Amino acid sequence: MSARKQQLLKRHRQHKRIALLVALVVLLLIGALVSWWLLPLLVVLGWIAHEAWFADHLFYRPQDDYRYAFPEDAKRYPVRIDDSRLVLADDFEAADTLILEVNLKAGWLGRWIDPQVWIGEDRQDFERGVAGRRYLNLSGQHELVVQGRLSVRGRFCRLSNEATLYAMRNPDYAERRILIIAPHADDAELAAFGLYSRARDVAIVTLTQGEIEANNYQRLGLDLPDAARLKGRLRSWDSLAIPLWGGVPQSHCVQLGYYCLQLPAMAEAPERAFGSRESGEQDIRSVRQHNPLALPADLDGVPSWDNLQADLRALLMHFRPEVVVTPHPELDPHSDHVAATRALFQAMDEGGWQPETLLLYANHLHDNDRWPMGPADGGIALPPAIEPLPADRLWSPLLDADARLSKAMALAMQHDLQGPLPLKKRLRRLIQTVLAGRRWPATGEDEFFRKAVRRHELFWVRHL
């Protein structure tokens, strides 16, 4: 977790503790002035209200504007929304990625039920109580936009009549040689299964075993180190085997075997070895035996940044990608994700192969743990950007129903996404289903089945 997200989470918890203290004082006053039996009833009702409407980790105000800038060559069109129809003021040039900047304002029901914007048959959800600038994803709806037949309407919210449409043109990167950097098993599938399952030439490199937080495997009678070693083996196998479901042969999948949550420490002390925090292992070769090629760190198995750099330089030379898909260094706060992209940048600077383009993804966010909001199979609106981001181009390819189902099944194979939900989360989902109108997919219980299986995938494009 990044330092910024730690600060946001700390502030969120402080505010929650203050709110709970105030609520406790109010309850005690009520208990002193009214019948004592009302006290436990009010406590239960308060807990239900919290789980229904106040349990989200939202580290900004719903009234804050999102702040995006796009490159100068992105076409900008003034548009109007009249009678729930998008009306263009100027001639419109063909583009694959369409983003609509619009102001939203929640109605009174939109403070209790997630505000929705329906774009034709697509649905994109926003924060309860939203009142500010947001960015809708219209990618894949080009023909309806040109014909003036695209409907854009709010439910539990109102849209401003004046809006701005940004149009960005990209090549189909699935036709290029692609290398995907996955800090953990499942990151490639979450971010880019739709892309890699139709790519002409793609390789996937997973940096870590993902062995920590293995408590669930202790139910098999294992102590924590053995449970962590088992989890590391299983997730390493996932990183090599599951891409075959998307058509990527095992000869194009590599597991480097470094240890989870150790990449940032490795970067600060490049020559030192950083073993697993839970399994006790110190040799990354334990999960490398199925790799399709020999790598520099195979010689000594030391989990160090210097070895990671040597491995990445060798992989760039071997696969010679034109495009590299990697975590967004400003948006995705997971410490291993930040370090993974840092490692890639250094390997490109010091190595012998330079890709042409980076496609950046965000599987986690600083500010909103529910993004993309709304149910599975909806579109992906742009994520919160309360602090300005680089003016990157966007590329948002469309996934049809068959591709979305295949992506959901790829996630279902991931061992880390198969665990049962804790009782507290089950109760929360039941309460939110009844009181807040939220829905979860039948394909899997983990939150990523809702967040990642969408009509779009979303990448920020940087040319090198």
Spatial contact of 188 and 182, defined as CB atoms under 8 Å apart? yes
Report whether pLDDT(12) > 80: no
Spatial contact of 417 and 175, defined as CB atoms under 8 Å apart? no
Spatial contact of 205 and 257, defined as CB atoms under 8 Å apart? no
Q: Stretch 383-406: mean pLDDT, rounded?
A: 95
Q: Which among 133, 131, 151, 127 is positioned nearest to 141, based on CA atoms?
A: 151
Predicted local confidence at residue 50, as pLDDT:
85
Report whether pLDDT(1) > 50: no
- Torsion angle of C-alpha atoms 119, 125, 130, 132, degrees rounded to 10: -50
Total residue length of the chain: 464
Chain position carrying tokens 């399709």? 292
Instruction: State pTM to two decimals.
Output: 0.92
Q: Which among 404, 403, 397 is positioned nearest to 441, based on CA atoms?
A: 404
pLDDT in tens, 346-372: 999 999 999 999 999 999 998 898 999
Report whether pLDDT(11) > 80: no
Chain position carrying tokens 């924590």? 224
In the numeric block, which tokens belong to residue 355?
């890709």
In the numeric block, which tokens belong to residue 165?
């449409």
Can you tell me the distance from the alpha carbon of 212 to that of 235, in angstroms, rounded to the nearest whole number? 11
Helix or strand run (H / E) with residue 229: helix 224-241
Count other C-beta atoms under 10 Å from residue 228's C-beta.
Answer: 28
Predicted local confidence at residue 367, as pLDDT:
87
Q: Mean pLDDT check: name the lowest of 47-56, 204-213, 308-317, 398-407.
A: 47-56
At the top level of CATH, which class does the domain 173-364 belong to? Answer: alpha beta
Three-state DSSP at 271 gives coil
Count other C-beta atoms under 10 Å from residue 181's C-beta.
Answer: 25
